[in-house]
Amino acid sequence: MKDKMIVIMAVLAAIIATACNEKTSSLQEAEIILEKRMDSLLSVMTLEEKIGQMSQVNLESGITEALLESIRKGEIGSLLNAGDAINRKQLQQVAMKESRLGIPLIFGRDVIHGYRTVFPIPLAQSCSWNTSLVEKAAAIAAYEAASDGIHWTFSPMLDIARDPRWGRIAEGNGEDSYLGSQLAIAMVKGYQGDDLSDPASLAACAKHFAGYGAAEGGRDYNTTLIPETELRNVYLPPFHAAVKANIATVMSAFNDLNGTPATANEFLLKKILRTEWGFRGFVVSDWTSVTEMINHGYAAGEKDAALKAVQAGVDMEMVSRSFTHYLKELVQSGTVDEKLIDDAVRNILSIKFRKGLFDNPYPQAPDEITFLRPENLEVAKELAIQSTVLLKNDNSVLPLRENIQSLAVIGPLADAPLEQLGMWTPDGRVEDAITPLAAIRKKIGKDRVIYVPALETGRSTDKSQFARAVAAARNASACVVFLGEEQILSGEAHSRAFLNLPGAQEELITELARTGKPIVLVIMAGRPLIFSRISGKVQAILYAWHGGTMAGPALTDLLFGIVSPSGKLSVSFPRAEGQIPLYYNHRNTGRPPQPENQGIPAGTPLDPVNFTSNYLDLDYTPEYPFGYGLSYTTFDYSPVTLSSPEITAGDTLIVRTSLSNKGKYNGTEIVQIYIRDMVGSITRPVKELKGFQRINLKPGESREVTFKLTATDLSFYRKDLTFGTETGEFMVWVGKSSADHDLKGISFSLSE
């Protein structure tokens, strides 16, 4: 055994030495060397060691001798939540020095929207429509996590979500495929950098593949039924964009898709991901999603689940151990071809090699300035600013005057550091978060701030502090009320049937409104909420989401006009839960609702004139549409012009408008371009986002804004499932939101 070990190590040493000495100036040469290293390593691995690479274990109760022995035997390829940097170094040393082949572990962690520096939740970030800033945030998260011994993050979540009842809407980029795709690219670049082997990078993971965001009723983990054209046109583009950006890993989803669990879905994992897209990384299951196929009624037991998952293309099993328990038996019985195992292990080793783990397996010890660097906190603050959406500002109540005589700060979320961090922040610390109350006091002085929480928590129904809150409002020049959701109300397994402000929050606004004092409502939440019953009782509304570590300073700058709001909604806000699912890029019906149908129709059951696709008791439009967001200044758009009224598939259409700042403040407008294919082989959406630009203008300044549309922008998966264009008439609009009244449009045609 000792002689065999010496031979194996000599072979590996020779391979590594060869790799170091060979010229790798070209990508092709580097790939050849990488393939040789993987093939040579695979050739000396036992079946048990191969299966070990396919197993990811969650470290639940600390480092045990049993865990260390499993690592020595090569039975574990990855660890999840593996303690701190010291623990991870200890575990890696065992893998590198005490296992037979010295294959490094890859450590995974949910680094979703920051590590110690916590950024706004992903849904909030998407409202910035700022890909470069989102990329910076991901790069900072990667740097902080990597310095602490993390190699791999389970982010970005790229699920298109059209149902705000679903708790995990907080974790994604909203309802639109185009915006989601652009942000996917930005996040992959941020996490992985230019070179995955850079010690400051993380391997990213596109999740959840696929259709998870379409869970029935917004109930987490639920069934999804999505026609293939809809899947390809709506739900898959962000994942495809991530693959084209060279994302390292992909995670299979919990849900079943059209009757087949995603974790055993060969159509997704082999046909689309591997064959069509050429994905070269590895696929990891979601947490126990392999064995959960037993509950789905798709697998007869753990052995059957392991068989179906590995045959479908799952390379690594997260947490559950069906691969460990049954793959050897399945191979030895001839049920599973060992080539499937080899392919999976090759995919995993490829990422470990590309991540540089064989050459640099140990993290550098983080120093005191690794986390929460001032420049990183500035990015967190700026992203929180740009993520905040101004929904209402009657009579220009905002911005507040810095010399305001007194300000009442009211509400349970004004000074709740844990809540502002949001969901999925296992490494964020309460003591790092700067709350709105702390930042406002610093801005205008503690003596001018009257603070009353009014409710113990956001879910409290105890109104005993209301009298103090009302007195504070009466004695102040203005009132800023911080309401919304606590962090525990959004995220995984936190779906809500009702989207109202929890507890007695609405009653608090009703009481405060009776004072007659101006009220600014700041909502901090993990999803779109419904608050139409009290929106008319306040003068201004800032939707701040869960803004992270620097939410307080960001909101203070917005409240006092240091900067003007620029955020735009990446998801439609419903008027009531009964409208859900509600999204801007829906299809028309044969009887679409008309503007005169808003509210309750005037017709009767005997009068078919008003028989349209709307509700008898609710306006059919959203409360706040996709792309919506106000500013402290006013922007004006000129009519849209085109380079030509007719183009062919090989042409580029130039779309122009002029944007002017007609107000008194500097401001940033997010100019959006939408199209509609008027007739298609399948019915087409009433609008589709095809581009956006952030334009900064001073008061009185104007600028021409130009967009380019090509055949790719007009293409879609057609009735025969081919991707391409169809000739005919199109509409193109440019404006400040997806709402009809916010857009200016013109038609053009596409000919052969």
421-461 per-position pLDDT tens digit:
999 999 999 999 999 999 999 999 999 999 999 999 999 99
Query: How far, in Å, are 134, 236, 457, 512, 626 from residue 176 at the CA level?
Result: 17, 11, 33, 37, 9
- Spatial CB neighbours of 350, under 8 Å, sequence gap ≥ 6: 34, 38, 280, 281, 282
pLDDT band at 213 (very low <50, low <70, confident <90, very high): very high
Residue 617: predicted pLDDT: 84
Residue 33: predicted pLDDT: 87
> What's the mean pLDDT in 94-105?
98
Residue 11: predicted pLDDT: 44
Residue 13 has pLDDT above 90, yes or no: no
- Spatial CB neighbours of 284, under 8 Å, sequence gap ≥ 6: 56, 205, 249, 250, 251, 252, 314, 315, 316, 317, 318
pLDDT band at 5 (very low <50, low <70, confident <90, very high): very low
Question: Which sign, positive or negative, has the C-alpha torsion 604, 609, 615, 617?
Answer: negative
Residue 31: predicted pLDDT: 84
pLDDT band at 496 (very low <50, low <70, confident <90, very high): very high
Residue 368: predicted pLDDT: 58
Q: What single DSSP character describes residue 271?
A: I
> What's the mean pLDDT in 183-210?
97
34-38, 88-92, 238-242: least confident range: 34-38
Closest CA to 578 of 165, 173, 215: 165
- Spatial CB neighbours of 69, under 8 Å, sequence gap ≥ 6: none
DSSP string, 192-240: H-S-TTSTT--B-EEEEETTGGG-GGG-TT--B---HHHIIIIISHHHH
CB 8 within 8 Å of CB 44: yes
Q: What confidence tens digit (pLDDT) does each residue in 706-744 have?
A: 999 999 999 999 999 999 999 999 999 999 999 999 999
pLDDT band at 60 (very low <50, low <70, confident <90, very high): confident
Residue 605: predicted pLDDT: 56
> What's the mean pLDDT in 36-61?
95
Residues with a known catalytic role: 286
Helices 322-332 and 302-312 cross at an angle (nearest 10°) of 80
Catalogue the E-assigned strands of 448-604: 449-452, 478-484, 519-524, 540-543
- Spatial CB neighbours of 519, under 8 Å, sequence gap ≥ 6: 473, 478, 479, 480, 481, 509, 512, 513, 537, 538, 539, 540
**What's the CA angle centered on 254, arms 155 and 350, to 5 degrees?**
50
pLDDT band at 550 (very low <50, low <70, confident <90, very high): very high
Residue 26: predicted pLDDT: 66
CA distance 392 to 383: 21
CB 597 within 8 Å of CB 620: yes
Residue 601 has pLDDT above 90, yes or no: no
> What's the mean pLDDT in 471-493?
98
For residues 82-119, b (16+ Cβ closer than 10 Å) or e, as one string?
A: bbebebbeebbebbbeebbbbbbbbbbbbbbbbbbbbb
Query: How far, in Å, are 298, 391, 500 from residue 577 at the CA level?
Result: 32, 19, 9
Q: What confidence tens digit (pLDDT) does each residue in 147-178 have?
A: 999 999 999 999 999 999 999 999 999 999 99
CA distance 113 to 104: 26
pLDDT band at 600 (very low <50, low <70, confident <90, very high): low
Residue 701: predicted pLDDT: 98
Q: What confidence tens digit (pLDDT) does each residue in 270-329 have?
A: 999 999 999 999 999 999 999 999 999 999 999 999 999 999 999 999 999 999 999 999
pLDDT band at 97 (very low <50, low <70, confident <90, very high): very high
pTM of the model: 0.95
Residue 606: predicted pLDDT: 59
Residue 21 has pLDDT above 60, yes or no: no
Coil/strand/helix, residue 75: coil
CB 164 within 8 Å of CB 623: no
Q: What percent of the chain has pLDDT over 70?
A: 94
Report the residue count for the chain.
Answer: 752
Residue 615: predicted pLDDT: 86
Q: What confidence tens digit (pLDDT) does each residue in 100-140 have?
A: 999 999 999 999 999 999 999 999 999 999 999 999 999 99
Coil/strand/helix, residue 124: helix
CA distance 98 to 77: 14
CA distance 506 to 535: 10
Residue 16: predicted pLDDT: 45
Residue 8 has pLDDT above 70, yes or no: no
Per the prediction, the chain carries an average pLDDT of 94
Count of beta carbons in the 10 Å neighbourhood of residue 359: 12
pLDDT band at 1 (very low <50, low <70, confident <90, very high): very low
Residue 7 has pLDDT above 60, yes or no: no
- Spatial CB neighbours of 600, under 8 Å, sequence gap ≥ 6: 616, 617
Cα torsion 454, 457, 459, 462 to 10°: value is -40
Q: What confidence tens digit (pLDDT) does each residue in 631-684 have?
A: 999 999 999 999 999 999 999 999 999 999 999 999 999 999 999 999 999 999
Residue 24 has pLDDT above 60, yes or no: no
How far is the first Cα of the chain from the last one, in angstroms, to the nearest whole number? 71
Helix intervals (H) in 22-130: 27-43, 47-53, 65-72, 85-97, 122-126
Structure tokens given for 325: 């328990």
Q: What single DSSP character describes residue 294?
A: H
Q: Which residues pair with 283 in a beta bridge?
A: 250
CA distance 120 to 525: 11
Helices 338-354 and 322-332 cross at an angle (nearest 10°) of 130
Q: What percent of the chain has pLDDT over 90?
A: 90
Structure tokens given for 455: 């409710």
What is the helix (H) or strand (E) element at residue 144, kind and residue range? Answer: helix 131-147
- Spatial CB neighbours of 39, under 8 Å, sequence gap ≥ 6: none
- Spatial CB neighbours of 381, under 8 Å, sequence gap ≥ 6: 550, 553, 554, 557
CB 483 within 8 Å of CB 518: no
